[in-house]
């Protein structure tokens, strides 16, 4: 079965939450920022308190391998019903570089 993930910019979070109330199911949300260590983690914690199932990660690894890494993978995108990104360039990166319509497992 194919499903297309919805891709949202951060400022569209209210739209996501309104749509979720209509659907009335536990939405799986992937939160993505540049490195996956700050904004996406905080948003994921906030959404968890609101009842969403979520994951957080970054679109680019740190150049310094001693820093904690939290990258996103295609399997995270396959898992998600919706993806929220923190920056416009990350939105374009995921939109152009990831398969948003992949088969469920």
What tokens appear for 28 in the block? 């799986």
What tokens appear for 55 in the block? 């994951």
Domain that holds residue 68: 2-103
Residue 18 belongs to domain with CATH number? 3.40.1010
Number of domains in the chain: 1
Mean confidence (pLDDT) of the chain = 79
3-state secondary structure of 75: helix
Residue 27 near residue 55 (C-beta atoms within 8 A):
no
Give tens-digit pLDDT for 58-69.
887 667 766 657
Residue 4 near residue 99 (C-beta atoms within 8 A):
no
Sort 40 into a burial class: Cβ within 10 Å, 0-12 / 13-18 / 19+. Answer: buried
| Adjacent-strand bridge partners of 37 | none
pLDDT at 13 over 80: no
pLDDT at 31 over 90: yes
Give tens-digit pLDDT for 37-92.
888 998 899 888 888 899 999 887 667 766 657 888 889 988 998 889 888 888 88
pTM of the model: 0.74
């Amino acid at each position: 079965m194919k499903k297309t993930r919805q891709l949202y910019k951060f400022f569209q979070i209210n739209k996501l939450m309104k749509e979720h109330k209509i659907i009335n199911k536990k939405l799986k949300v992937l939160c993505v920022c540049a490195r996956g260590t700050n904004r996406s983690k905080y948003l994921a914690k906030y959404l968890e308190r609101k009842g969403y199932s979520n994951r957080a990660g970054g679109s680019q690894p740190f150049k310094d391998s001693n820093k904690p890494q939290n990258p996103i993978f295609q399997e995270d995108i396959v898992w998600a019903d919706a993806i929220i990104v923190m920056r416009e360039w990350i939105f374009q990166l995921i939109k152009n570089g990831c398969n948003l319509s992949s088969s469920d497992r």
